[in-house]
């Protein structure tokens, strides 16, 4: 029989505690839809007693029907020496109206005596009473044994008593938490094994990444018998973050044959990562396993040759399985074969000996001599190929732009741009402010073009890099500008080179917009073919 593991995503609770993340109610609703579409079993959406924003969220979720996931509210056991019915936190959890309640309680004796400052017996009563209260209200109850592994290493007898108290209350699942994130996978395996052998109940794992082992520890727990895994998408969370579900899920499902998501949904993994990073307003780590833009990117000529002959020579899984794609990087070590393969993506009939191939190679050499570098800027390189092959038509014409920059710079917009563009004979004049001249120019250009191409409203820059190429020329030196753009679903990079940083930025900006418009046009053509 195929093993199954329930995934509980805590992006909206534990992930929201990460530095730099602040979800609005609308953001939280978008994340819920993304995770539900992905097919996780549980979405832990926050603590309804912690702030008005979460209260509003849970109220709005009453009117949202989920396809795959069960919504969970998160909170603590009752406070010490207070009847469970009179505890305000407990009542707020009940008022959230979710079918699932996640209760955390202390399982480390040190925390009981020195942090919440109560007796060991009262803590067990707090756990038992709270779980029992919600079971009587017909809720599914997941008990998070906070600091369980540290507690077990300190006092195994008491750590087990905390679990038994939850079982006596009627808990549906016991989750063992490496709250400090300092345990080794081998420790997690051994301790989890003892728990799974001692309780005839669903056992879960919740790890933090403070020692860089959250994913490994989560998988070790599953190998020890755990059938419930908690984490956050992309590993967002306090301090060093939580266990990264976008890595755990494919590791378990592809490598171990353990079902975490509906089989057809695994291909949504990368899209979900992009979507959640976008909503979180966090630049995604492109080296993230499985879902990162660099996860299947090949640069060295030997690697590229190997993958071209047999993908498994340098890829541990097929990128299509997780909704990602293979990339061959344009660089000085990539080789002529890589260039030809890129050309054939646009025009399959081009051969190694054809004039078109020679023209592209010569153009590439000339541009590299000028300071261009296309590693990580494959979108600009694709546009060069299209121009050489006659498969390019400009989407707009720049008539003029003016920039004004205020000095000294003040908080807020410090520059403004006035731009005039023409599309199909129609002109549009637009102005915009920005944090510096490049930002202002970017905003003005997109604002002007959105009149003709509304789809550009979803596009924005996620990264902007400037590199001085020939520093010996001092202030007359050439600069290379690399920008990364996204529309919330895909990410692409473009490059511009000039002695003028504004001009270099403009070249990269234009390439970015035209690449987006070309790809959207290709999608439309495929739909109607």
Select from 251, 280, 309 the last residue of a domain.
280
Q: Which run of H or E residues covers position 204?
A: strand 202-207
Q: How far is residue 514 from each of residues 285, 455, 509, measured CA to CA in Å?
A: 25, 12, 9
β partners of residue 418: 402, 431
Does 326 lie in the same domain as 196? no
Q: Domain containing 50 — which CATH number? A: 3.20.20.70
The verdict on residue 287 lying in a domain is no
The verdict on residue 457 lying in a domain is yes
Does 310 lie in the same domain as 240? no
Sign of the dihedral defined by the CA atoms of residues 43, 48, 50, 51, in that order: positive
Does 267 lie in the same domain as 170? yes
Does 443 lie in the same domain as 377? no
Under 8 Å between Cβ of 480 and 504: yes
Q: How far is residue 512 from each of residues 337, 367, 479, measured CA to CA in Å?
A: 25, 18, 18
Select from 280, 306, 341 the last residue of a domain.
280
The verdict on residue 1 lying in a domain is no
Does 76 lie in the same domain as 125? yes
Give the total number of structural domains in the chain: 3
Q: Which run of H or E residues covers position 205?
A: strand 202-207
Select from 389, 412, 435 the last residue of a domain.
389
Residues of the chain with pLDDT under 50: 332-333, 529
Please give the Cα distance from 8 to 28 (Å, whole number).
16
pLDDT at 333: 47
Does 24 lie in the same domain as 141? yes
For residue 341, what are the domain limits?
A: 297-389
The verdict on residue 291 lying in a domain is no
Strand, helix or coil at 110?
Answer: helix
Distance of CA 9 to the CA centre of its chain: 13
Tell me the HSE value of 264 on the side-chain side, using a 13 A CA sphere.
1
Does 444 lie in the same domain as 422? yes
Under 8 Å between Cβ of 64 and 35: no
Q: Write phi, then psi, for 134 (nearest 5 degrees).
A: -75, -30
The verdict on residue 260 lying in a domain is yes
pLDDT at 332: 47
The verdict on residue 290 lying in a domain is no
The verdict on residue 288 lying in a domain is no
Under 8 Å between Cβ of 71 and 45: yes
Does 313 lie in the same domain as 429? no
Does 244 lie in the same domain as 113? yes
Does 524 lie in the same domain as 498? yes
Please give the Cα distance from 74 to 78 (Å, whole number).
13
The verdict on residue 355 lying in a domain is yes
Q: Domain containing 441 — which CATH number? A: 3.30.160.270
**DSSP letters spanning 414-477:** -EEEEEEEEETTEEEEEEEEESSHHHHHHHHHHHHHHTT-GGGGG-EEEEEEEEES-GGGGGG-
Among candidate residues 24, 25, 32, 16, the one with its CA nearest the CA of residue 64: 32
State the Cα torsion 356-358-360-361 to the nearest 10°.
160
Does 304 lie in the same domain as 251? no
> ∠ at Cα 170 (164, 171), nearest 5°?
75
Whether residue 408 is preceded by a cis peptide bond, meaning omega within 30 degrees of 0, is: yes
Number of helices (H), then strands (E), belonging to the chain: the values are 17, 16
Does 510 lie in the same domain as 431? yes
Angle between helices 336-346 and 301-309 (to 10 degrees): 50
């Amino acid at each position: 029989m195929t093993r199954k593991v329930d995934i509980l995503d805590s992006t909206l609770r534990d992930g929201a505690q990460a530095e730099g993340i602040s979800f609005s109610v609308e953001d939280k609703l978008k994340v819920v839809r993304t995770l539900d579409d992905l097919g996780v079993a549980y979405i832990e959406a926050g603590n309804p007693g912690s702030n008005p924003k979460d209260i509003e969220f849970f109220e709005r979720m009453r009117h949202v029907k989920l396809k795959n996931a069960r919504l969970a509210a998160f909170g603590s056991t009752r406070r010490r020496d207070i009847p469970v019915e009179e505890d305000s936190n407990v009542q707020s959890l009940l008022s959230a109206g979710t079918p699932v309640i996640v209760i955390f309680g202390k399982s480390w004796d040190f925390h009981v005596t020195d942090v919440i400052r109560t007796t060991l017996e009262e803590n067990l009563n707090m756990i038992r009473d709270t779980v029992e209260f919600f079971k009587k209200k017909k809720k599914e109850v997941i008990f998070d044994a906070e600091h369980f592994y540290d507690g077990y290493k300190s006092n195994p007898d008491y750590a087990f008593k905390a679990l038994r108290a939850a079982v006596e209350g009627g808990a549906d699942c016991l989750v063992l938490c490496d709250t400090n994130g300092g345990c080794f996978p081998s420790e997690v395996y051994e301790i989890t094994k003892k728990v799974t052998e001692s309780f005839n109940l669903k056992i879960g794992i919740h790890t933090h990444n403070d020692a860089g082992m959250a994913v490994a520890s989560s998988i070790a727990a599953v190998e020890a018998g755990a059938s419930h895994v908690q984490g956050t998408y992309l590993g967002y969370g306090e301090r060093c973050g939580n266990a990264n579900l976008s890595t755990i899920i494919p590791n378990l499902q592809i490598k171990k044959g353990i079902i975490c998501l509906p089989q057809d949904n695994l291909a949504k993994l990368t899209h979900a990562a992009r979507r959640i990073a976008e909503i979180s307003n966090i630049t995604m780590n492109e080296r993230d396993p499985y879902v990162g833009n660099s996860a299947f990117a090949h640069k060295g000529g030997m690697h590229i040759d190997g993958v071209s002959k047999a993908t498994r020579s340098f890829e541990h899984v097929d990128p299509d399985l997780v909704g990602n794609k293979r990339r061959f990087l344009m660089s000085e070590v990539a080789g002529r074969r890589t260039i030809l393969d890129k050309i054939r993506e646009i025009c399959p009939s081009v051969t190694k000996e054809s004039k078109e191939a020679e023209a592209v190679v010569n153009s590439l050499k000339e541009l590299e001599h000028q300071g261009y570098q296309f590693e990580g800027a494959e979108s600009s390189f694709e546009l060069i190929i299209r121009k050489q092959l006659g498969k390019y038509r400009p989407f707009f014409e720049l008539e003029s732009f003016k920039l004004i920059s205020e000095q000294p710079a003040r908080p807020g917009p410090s520059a403004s741009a006035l731009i005039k563009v023409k599309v199909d004979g129609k002109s549009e004049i637009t102005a915009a402010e920005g944090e510096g001249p490049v930002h202002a120019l970017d905003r003005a250009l997109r604002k002007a073009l959105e009149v003709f191409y509304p789809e550009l409203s979803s596009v924005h820059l996620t990264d902007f890099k400037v590199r001085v190429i020939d520093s010996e020329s001092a202030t007359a030196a050439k600069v290379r500008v690399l920008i990364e753009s996204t529309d919330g679903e895909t990410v692409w990079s473009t490059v511009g080179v000039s002695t003028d940083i504004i001009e270099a930025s403009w070249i990269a900006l234009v390439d970015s917009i035209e690449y987006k418009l070309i790809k959207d046009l290709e999608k439309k053509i495929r739909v109607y073919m």
